[in-house]
A and B are shown apart, each in its own frame.
Chain A
Amino acid sequence: MSVGTGITELIASSGFGARFGEMIEVSGDGDAALWTLRPHTELVGNAMLPALHGGAVIAFLEIVAGAALASRLQRNAIPPLISINVQFLATVRVETLTARCVIRRVGRRVAATQIEAWQADPETPVCAAQCEFSCLAS
């Protein structure tokens, strides 16, 4: 499977995805794919640290998880998010954030994914999330 243009277009198929997806790149295939966020300064939440906004971090994680799942399901739309549970493990600096998504289960109605992201060291994630998506064709 070739990632790149197909996934970029998939993410950009919504207005928010087009805006946010400009900062996201992907390399590799399937569960081995690495997703990179190169944050603009507008994503800052705490200007004193400075750190990325929690909401911007969540947006990145759920866009990546949704795109990874759409790719697995060979869908041309990102499935609707049912639930996301995010854990913030360290300050997310305004630097490149890299994520890896594992699709835990794909059922007929619901799919579950696990995603974590790091900055300097892949062994030290700065945030992680579990997401459930609706698999029903929309």
Chain B
Amino acid sequence: MNVRELLTGEGAKKVVVPWSDALQVELLSISDGMASARVPYGADRSNAAGGIATGVVATLVDHACGAAVLTKLSRRVSISTLNLKIDHLRSPHPDCQITASARCCGLSGNIALVRADVWDRNPDDVFAAAQAVFSLNRAIDQ
């Protein structure tokens, strides 16, 4: 299954995610179990201090984590977030884009575990970390 095509491609097979599109979430890379995605800075996505708001961070994290799970699946299955925990170490820098790097740590039965780091200027300077559990639901007709 080509996850990149599903998430970014055109046509009937594309997974449409209106809220991610509305916040300009951009999928950067996809590989086995890994996904990274970015949100550019925008005034309508900012907190009172001028950095990107935590609600936008949550959307980016959910999107990147879901994409990381999809890379682990051999066929197209609908997934849903069971739980998601996000810890914020600090607010992102003002006027700065943010990037989430998610890694699907494993699948077991109908459950997938994902971890994600979120950074702004430097991948080594993480400002938020997240862990999520997704449930794998029914297969989707191709």
Q: A residues touching B (Cβ–Cβ < 8 Å)?
A: 13-20, 41-48, 51-56, 58-60, 62-63, 77-78, 80-88, 91, 138
Count of residues in B whose CB is under 8 Å from the partner chain: 39
Would you mind naming 8 contact pairs between A and B with Cβ atoms under 8 Å apart? A16-B45, A44-B17, A53-B20, A55-B20, A55-B62, A59-B59, A83-B88, A86-B85
Complex Cα distance, B134 from A45, in Å, reads 14
Known A-B contacts A14-B53, A47-B16, A47-B18; A85 and B45 likewise in contact (beta carbons under 8 Å) = no
> Are A59's CB and B83's CB within 8 A?
no
> Are A42's CB and B80's CB within 8 A?
no
> Are B85's CB and A59's CB within 8 A?
no
Known A-B contacts A15-B44, A46-B78; A55 and B63 likewise in contact (beta carbons under 8 Å) = yes
A-B contacts at CB below 8 angstroms, number: 127
Complex Cα distance, B52 from A91, in Å, reads 27
Known A-B contacts A15-B44, A45-B20; A63 and B88 likewise in contact (beta carbons under 8 Å) = no
Known A-B contacts A14-B47, A19-B44, A77-B48; A48 and B54 likewise in contact (beta carbons under 8 Å) = no
Interface check B56, CB cutoff 8 A: yes
**CB neighbours of A15 from chain B (8 A):** 42-47, 53
Report the nearest B residue to A51, measured CB to CB.
Answer: B80
**CB neighbours of B32 from chain A (8 A):** none
> Are B82's CB and A88's CB within 8 A?
yes
Complex Cα distance, B46 from A78, in Å, reads 13
Interface check B126, CB cutoff 8 A: no
Report the nearest A residue to B51, measured CB to CB.
Answer: A14
Q: Name, among A41, A43, A53, A91, the residue most crowded by chain B CB atoms within 10 Å (CB to CB).
A: A53
Interface check B22, CB cutoff 8 A: yes
Interface check B102, CB cutoff 8 A: no
Complex Cα distance, B85 from A14, in Å, reads 23
